[in-house]
Amino acid sequence: MPAFYAGKRVGKPLMGGHTYNAMFNGKLVWPLDKDTVVSIRITDDKGKPLPKSLAVSGTLKLGAKATYADGHVGDLLTTKSVTFTSKDTGTATVAGNTLTWRHGGTILVTATIGGFTSAAASIAAAYAPESVTVADESGVIVSALSLRVGEEKYLQVRVLPTGASQEFTPTVKNQTVASVGAPTPKTITVTPDNPTLRVGESVTVQVSVGPDGAPQEFTATVKDRTIATTA
């Protein structure tokens, strides 16, 4: 801990390049270099680097290693002699060394060892879906559809917030009335559609499958491979 004189912090007493100490109530006024933390690295409880993100409702066991003024690195600490703190408990909370997801955003967690607090380590917290909307091809939200036999309708599904996973599973309660699945490809456009090449020339074409949302996989072929090839 630092020493104060007349209310002002004073530096360590140095003489001939050596630090001299004093006793107060049986304790050294200045901690020894081997006991003075100068930096802390936050890891998981196995000493491995922190993950970049934490899944919805996920948890993470934390660990930390301190570097001391004499240059040595301390043992991995998980629960004893270390305190972990979440800077935003709305995003994640900490109990002991267990970090628990609460909401999407950026998790900032610090570790304190020997009175020294680390810089905040950052982990992305995944966003949980909060709403799902279904719209038609024009973007108008729909709640019910009327289809004739053989008709089909392409629907757009949007999950909010936009940072949440956009994966979803569509279902139809009565499969005898209608079925739901990936859109069937209806159109294929190639740009440019009729390229002219000289010997040795090449061109990149763009292939678009419609409607949007339909599988975009395709196989490019050339009828006469003695004239041109695709790759």
166-210 pLDDT, tens per residue? 888 888 888 888 888 777 788 899 999 888 888 888 989 899 988
Do 206 and 177 fall within a single domain? no
Q: How many domains does the chain have?
A: 3
pLDDT single digits (tens) 12-49: 666 666 666 667 677 766 677 788 899 999 999 999 99
Do 66 and 90 fall within a single domain? yes
Do 40 and 88 fall within a single domain? yes
Do 36 and 120 fall within a single domain? yes
Whole-angstrom distance, CA of residue 170 vs CA of residue 3: 67
The reply to whether 3 falls in a domain is no
CATH code (residue 115): 2.60.40.1080
Q: How confident is the model at residue 100 (pLDDT cuts 50, 70, 90)?
A: very high
Tokens of 151: 């008709």
Do 48 and 112 fall within a single domain? yes
Do 162 and 193 fall within a single domain? no
Do 55 and 120 fall within a single domain? yes
The reply to whether 7 falls in a domain is no
Q: Which residues pair with 72 in a beta bridge?
A: none
The reply to whether 5 falls in a domain is no
Do 91 and 172 fall within a single domain? no
pLDDT single digits (tens) 143-173: 888 888 888 888 889 999 999 998 888 888 8
**pLDDT(1) > 60:** no
The reply to whether 22 falls in a domain is no
| Type of residue at 131 | S
pLDDT at 28: 66
State mean pLDDT over 82-97: 97
* Final residue before a domain boundary, out of 125, 149, 167: 125
Q: How does DSSP classify residue 78?
A: S
| Type of residue at 55 | A
* Final residue before a domain boundary, out of 77, 110, 125: 125
State mean pLDDT over 106-125: 96
Model confidence, pTM: 0.65
Average pLDDT value for the chain = 88
Do 142 and 214 fall within a single domain? no
- In the chain, how many H helices and how many E strands? 0, 19
Tokens of 97: 């060394």
Task: State which residues form the domain around 176.
Answer: 129-181
Whole-angstrom distance, CA of residue 49 vs CA of residue 64: 10
Cα 31 to the chain's mean position, in Å? 39
Name the phi and psi angles at 35, rounded to 5: -110, 0
Do 153 and 70 fall within a single domain? no
Cβ atoms of 76 and 65 within 8 Å: the answer is yes
The reply to whether 13 falls in a domain is no
Tokens of 211: 């409607």
The reply to whether 37 falls in a domain is yes
